Amino acid sequence: MRPGEAIRLDRADVDLARAVTTVTDTKRKTTRRLPLHPSTVAALRDYETRRDHLCPLPRDPAFLLTGAGARPDLRTLQRTFTRLARRHGIARPPRGPGLKDFRHTLAVTILTGWYQSGADVTASLPLLSAWPGHRTPASSYWYITASPGLLAAVTERMAAARGNISPEPS
């Protein structure tokens, strides 16, 4: 989801029992439901426990809270993320990773997995568009860039379609 969508999530929007998040306040004024991976559910449960312990009487119904019990603003969220990334050695000059980079990583990771598993990628592209809230697969084009894993998966799929066991050397 977009960073602003995450900030606007209320507690009622995050259903950890069903492993789904409902994004209602979107850029396009639509609603979408996003499945949550079990590891994400576990991390969010841990966050929820800590949040509720540190802030038992929040001022806001937000899922994500500041130390003051209020909904964070985008600038604060981005600064905090940048500081944590640098602290853990994942910043890269001249610009470290940003919150929006997760959307790109998700798209490339999912697409790579589809190619590797033999899925019908063309038929699945509408899902790749729906998850980040795009209208059409063409809108998701900007998130898909060449990565070694994706290129290898596409090359293997093309080689298999031609009847080759492995890609031809160049």
Are residues 76 and 24 located together in one domain of the fold? yes
Report pLDDT digits (tens) over 110-162. Answer: 888 888 888 888 888 877 776 776 667 776 666 666 677 777 777 777 777 77
Buried b (16+ CB within 10 A) or exposed e, 61-97: ebbbbbeeeebbeeeebeeebbeebeeeeeeeeeeeb
Residue 121 belongs to domain spanning: 101-162
Contact 90, 99 (CB under 8 A): no
Are residues 56 and 110 located together in one domain of the fold? no
Are residues 110 and 80 located together in one domain of the fold? no
Are residues 82 and 120 located together in one domain of the fold? no
* CATH number for the domain harbouring residue 46: 1.10.443.10
The residue among 55, 87, 119 that closes a domain is 87
What angle, 0 to 180 degrees and rounded to 10, lies between the N-to-C axes of helices 101-117 and 148-162? 20
What spatial distance separates the first Cα and last Cα of the chain, rounded to whole Å?
A: 39
Q: What is the pTM of this model?
A: 0.72
Report pLDDT digits (tens) over 26-47. Answer: 777 778 899 999 999 999 999 9
Instruction: Evaluate whether residue 94 is within a structural domain.
Output: no
